[in-house]
């Protein structure tokens, strides 16, 4: 993941955490993150 993508991911995750759409997990199960660029 490029530094730009990593910054965007962190930003999105922080926003989703603040809005309580997601929450931290300690589960041994996980899923990779896939970023898809949208057409502007």
pTM above 0.75, yes or no: no
Span 1-40, pLDDT tens digits: 889 989 999 999 999 999 999 998 889 998 888 888 888 7
Structure tokens at 15: 């926003």
Own/partner long-range contacts of 6-15 (Cβ < 8 Å, ≥24 apart): 8/35, 9/33, 9/35
Query: How far apart (Å, rounded) are the C-alpha atoms in residues 40 and 24?
Result: 31
Say how far residue 3 (Cα) sits from the centre of its chain. 14
Closest by alpha carbon to 25, among 34, 35, 17, 37?
A: 17
What are the start-end ranges of the H helices in the chain? 3-18
The pLDDT value given to residue 17: 96
């Amino acid at each position: 993941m490029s530094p730009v993508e990593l910054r965007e991911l962190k930003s999105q995750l922080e926003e989703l955490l603040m809005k309580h759409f997601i929450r931290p997990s300690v589960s041994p199960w996980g899923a990779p993150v896939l970023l898809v660029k949208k057409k502007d």
